[in-house]
């Protein structure tokens, strides 16, 4: 496995690989890899000739009061995990390499951002879209792998690729969970021990909602109320949002039908956790 820190070097390797007719599978990350990332890498490994993992904590997608400075980082560990998974290249640029000057052009996401994380993190998805356009141009991937834990990100990136005619295929991969159901996340290391125990309530509340829908509940407000009560009762976290929307359009719905997403973000003392479930609501017979 090779680590590349220089944009032009990464780009010329990618161009050379394409000339040789090789397919490139790309896993963009902000590092501190966990099993979720490794499942993306393993899918990329299976479906492409060459894999590239990028590790870049993108300042553009963090708000002024967010955790850019404390975002967990451990390049040595990341690099050995990626190597064990059979990865070929790690692209690991510095912030100066990626943004040597304040960008004169950035992306503005128009749709699917006024809900969920987009609502509580203004500008976040603009930063994600901007860095991904750069990374796609540098790595020149055929397929790009994203975890469904951030389902809104997948929806936004789908729109980005469609609207900008970017010739890549987006491959969504299912969320990987701890044994007790907590979605794997780099931010989980910032949970205090008691919060770590409580954090399993996020997944439990989603399961509860799924069962209620299975049993015929059709009113999203009733489900949301039950979920909020459950989170309040079982965690010390503060609910940032719990929403039920259509998926992938992320529009408000007044009745549960079709494909929906139930998504939530809960703030613990030093970590804001997200989770979601995407459900195809069965039609009544």
Tell me the CA distances in angstroms from 121 to 62, 130, 223, 241, one per residue in order.
8, 15, 24, 12
Among 48, 61, 140, 235, interactor with ligand PAF by CB under 6 A: 61
Closer to ligand PAF by CB, 61 or 235: give it.
Answer: 61
Q: Is 280 annotated as a binding residue?
A: no
Q: Does 116 bind ligand PAF (CB under 6 A)?
A: no
Separation CA 211–CA 31 (nearest Å):
35
Q: Does 175 bind ligand PAF (CB under 6 A)?
A: no
Q: Is 12 annotated as a binding residue?
A: no
How many helices (H) does the chain have, and how many strands (E)? 10, 9
Token pair, residue 68, equals 């850019």
Q: Does 29 bind ligand PAF (CB under 6 A)?
A: yes
Q: Is 34 annotated as a binding residue?
A: yes
| Residue 256, helix vs strand vs coil | coil
Sorted by sequence, the CB contacts under 8 Å of residue 113 that are 6+ apart come out as 119, 125, 152, 156
User: What are the backbone angles phi and psi of residue 279, rounded to the nearest 5°?
Assistant: -130, 135
Q: Does 30 bind ligand PAF (CB under 6 A)?
A: yes
Is 124 a catalytic site residue?
A: no
Among 116, 117, 131, 262, interactor with ligand PAF by CB under 6 A: 131
**Binding-site residue ranges for (R)-pantoate:** 61, 153
**Binding-site residue ranges for beta-alanine:** 61
Cite the active site residues.
37
In the complex, the residues that contact ligand PAF under the rule CB under 6 A are 28-30, 58, 61, 128, 131-132, 150, 153
């Amino acid at each position: 496995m090779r680590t590349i820190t220089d944009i032009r070097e990464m780009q010329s390797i990618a161009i050379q690989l394409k000339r040789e007719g090789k397919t490139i599978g790309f896993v963009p990350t902000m590092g501190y890899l966990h099993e979720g990332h490794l499942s993306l890498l393993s899918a990329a490994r299976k479906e492409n000739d060459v894999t590239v993992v990028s590790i870049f904590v993108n300042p553009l997608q963090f708000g002024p009061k967010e955790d850019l400075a404390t975002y967990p980082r451990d390049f040595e560990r990341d690099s050995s995990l990626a190597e064990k998974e059979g990865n070929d290249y790690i692209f690991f640029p510095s912030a100066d390499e990626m943004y040597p000057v304040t960008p004169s052009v950035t992306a503005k996401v128009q749709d699917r951002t006024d809900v969920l994380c987009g609502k509580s993190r203004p500008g976040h998805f603009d930063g994600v879209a901007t860095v991904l356009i750069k990374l796609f141009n540098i790595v020149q991937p055929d397929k790009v792998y994203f975890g469904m834990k951030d389902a809104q990100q997948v929806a936004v990136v789908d729109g980005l690729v469609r609207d900008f005619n970017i010739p890549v295929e987006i491959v969504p991969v299912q969320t990987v969970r701890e044994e007790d159901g907590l979605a794997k996340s780099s931010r989980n290391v910032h949970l205090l021990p008691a919060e770590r125990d409580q954090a399993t309530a996020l997944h439990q509340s989603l399961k509860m909602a799924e069962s209620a829908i299975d049993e015929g509940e059709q009113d999203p407000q009733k489900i949301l109320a039950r979920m909020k009560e459950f989170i309040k009762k079982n965690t010390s976290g503060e609910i940032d949002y719990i929403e039920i929307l259509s998926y992938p359009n992320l529009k408000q719905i007044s009745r549960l039908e079709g494909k929906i997403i139930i998504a939530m973000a809960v703030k613990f003392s030093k970590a804001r956790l997200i989770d979601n479930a995407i459900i195809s609501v069965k039609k009544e017979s």
